[in-house]
Amino acid sequence: MPETSTILFILWAVMLGGVGGGLTIIGPWYKNLVKPSWQPPDWLFGPAWTLILGLGAWAGILAWDGATTDAERTSIIILYAVNFVFHFLWSPLFFNLRRPDWALIEVVFLWVSVLVLFIGLRPYSVFASWLIVPYLSWVSFAAVLNLKIVRLNKPFGKAQ
C-alpha cells in the first residue's frame, strides 16, 4: 500500500490537472481570440500539464522523504497548498470569466509560488528542486503567452 505522502502528492497533481482541465473551456470565445503564431497547438497543453504535474508530485514525494521533522513536512505541505491555490485560480479567470488581463496578474502569483517550490524543496532534496524546473519553465512560457494574448485582444471586460 502506498504511503500517505505518495497519495497526498498524487492527489495534488490529479486534482490540479483534473480541475484545471475541467475549467479550461475551448469554446468560441477562446477560438476567436487572436493568438501569436508561436502558441503551441491546444492538444499539447493536456500532455504538457500531465508531465509537469507528475514531476511536481514526484518532487513532493522526494522532499517529504528528505524531511526529517514534522515542521519540515508541514513547510512542504504549505508550499504545495499555496501553489495549489494559485494554480487553481488561473483557468477560471482566463476561461470562465474571460479575463486574460486578470489571469495575467494572477500568473505572477502562480509563477512566484512555483519559484518558491523550487527554492523551498532544495533543502530536502536537490533532485526534487530540479524536478520543478519544467513547471517553472512552462508557467514562464504561459505568462508570456498570456501577456501576448492580452496585448493582441484588449480591452477585456466589456460585453462580449
The structural domains of the chain, with segments of one domain joined by +, span: 4-153
d(CA 88, CA 99): 15
Q: Is the pLDDT of residue 1 over 50?
A: no
Q: Is the pLDDT of residue 115 over 60?
A: yes
Residue with the bigger pLDDT between 155 and 57: it is: 57
Convert the pLDDT of each residue in 74-111 to its tens digit. Answer: 999 999 999 999 999 999 999 999 999 999 999 999 99
Specify the CATH number of the domain 4-153. Answer: 1.20.1260.100
CA-nearest of 94, 99, 80, 81 to 142 is: 94
Convert the pLDDT of each residue in 21-57 to its tens digit. Answer: 777 777 899 999 999 999 999 889 889 999 999 999 9
pLDDT value of residue 145: 97
Convert the pLDDT of each residue in 136-153 to its tens digit. Answer: 999 999 999 999 999 999
Task: Please state, for a pLDDT cut of 90, what percent of the chain lies above it.
Answer: 78
- Give how far Cα 36 sits from Cα of 25, 72, 147, 148, 153, Å: 19, 43, 10, 7, 11
Helix (H) or strand (E) holding 51: helix 42-66
d(CA 140, CA 67): 28
Predicted TM-score (pTM) of this structure = 0.90
- Give how far Cα 11 sits from Cα of 32, 49, 151, Å: 34, 14, 36
